[in-house]
Each structure stands twice: as C-alpha cells, then as structure tokens.
Amino acid sequence: MFVYLENQRIKKFETKFTKVNFLHLTGIKLVDKRTNAKFFYNKCIANRIKEDEIEEREDGNTRNKLSVLNNLMYIHKNARIIGDFNQNRIFLYSDKIIGSISACLGFISNGNYYICNTSLKEDIRKITCNRAKIVSIACKPIQDLKYNKITYIDEKYRDKIFLDTEITEKIKDNL
C-alpha cells in the first residue's frame, strides 16, 4: 500500500504483485510457448533459468527493462512519487505510475487493487501528470488481510497518516 499526499490529504493506493506479472516486467520472451509466466518466475527464484529458455523481445525493450529491474524490486522501499499516466506513449497503457526519476512501474486497475503491467526506464516526471509525494509504504504477504510491515514513512506525516482511519484499519495494531 502506497500512501501519498494529494492536496494536503492522505490517500492510499493498494497494489498486488503476483508471479504472473514478473515475466512482463523483465521484457523477456519465453522460447517454449508451452511454458508460462509462473514457470518463468519459479525458475528464476530457484536460480534455474537457462539461457536457451529465454530470448529478448523484438521491440527492443528487454535491455531497458532489465537495466532497472533490480531497482524496481525495491520499489516498496524507494518509491517517492505517484502520478497519473499522461498517455504520451502509443503502445503503453497504465492508470498510475509509481517510482522515481530513473525507473518506474505502471499499474492498471483490477478490482479493489492495482496490478503491475509495465516497468520503465524513465523519469516519472516525463510520463505523469497529477503527481503526488509518497509519504509511506506498507507491505504484507498476499494472503494476509492486514499490512504487517512499514518499509518507508516520512516522519513529517506520521501523525497525519495514522489519524486516517481508512489506513489504520488496514494495518496490524502492533506496528
């Protein structure tokens, strides 16, 4: 959950990261069409992916995506800006963009939360409008109901964040 400040009001943006989203974030293409994104994720986690199982995509984005992937794996700690995607790219659609001046993730709505649909080697200021400052980030395993870890908080806004009942209801009491 990314908590941000919009017109001096606290807002929240809830995301979900799943195995099936990871392959697209890398820009890699699987050679064997019978395999899928979960297979790729599990092989990567086990450090068992082989070079002959993958290839770069024809659109040329693989290298850009892979060059920022390590930074984006820590977005739950280092994201500082959220904004609305300004639709300035023909082949890209996202609702929201989260990140920094060097790398970002795009998100699309999926019911009560947002899922990641792209990774970008891009300055967030160039591809967003209605930008806001992220003031806190909370995480939890997908199966948990409440957030159990705060990975970032701007101390200047701590009281304001924890006075928001909609946010505090989603965070475990013992944090």
Q: Let me know if residue 93 belongs to a domain.
A: yes
pLDDT at res. 76: 94
Cα–Cα distance for residue pair 119/95, rounded to 1 Å? 13
Domain limits for position 72: 2-168
How many Å separate Cα 133 from the centre of its chain? 15
Q: Let me know if residue 116 belongs to a domain.
A: yes
pLDDT at res. 81: 97
pLDDT at res. 139: 96
Instruction: Inform me whether the pLDDT recorded for 175 exceeds 80.
Output: no
Confidence at 93, pLDDT banded by 50, 70, 90: confident
pLDDT at res. 13: 95
Q: Let me know if residue 135 belongs to a domain.
A: yes
Q: Let me know if residue 31 belongs to a domain.
A: yes
Question: Which whole number is the average pLDDT over 102-117?
Answer: 93
pLDDT at res. 89: 66
Contact indicator for 94, 114 with CB cutoff of 8 Å? no
Q: Let me know if residue 97 belongs to a domain.
A: yes
Total domains present in the chain: 1
Helix axes 37-45, 19-26, angle to 10 degrees: 90
pLDDT tens column, 139-158: 999 999 999 999 999 999 99
pLDDT at res. 85: 93
pLDDT at res. 6: 93
Mean pLDDT of the chain: 92
pLDDT at res. 90: 61
pLDDT tens column, 31-69: 998 899 999 999 999 999 999 999 998 888 899 999 999
Q: How many CB atoms lie within 10 A of CB 36?
A: 13
Q: Let me know if residue 67 belongs to a domain.
A: yes
Q: Let me know if residue 173 belongs to a domain.
A: no
Q: Which residues pair with 1 in a beta bridge?
A: none
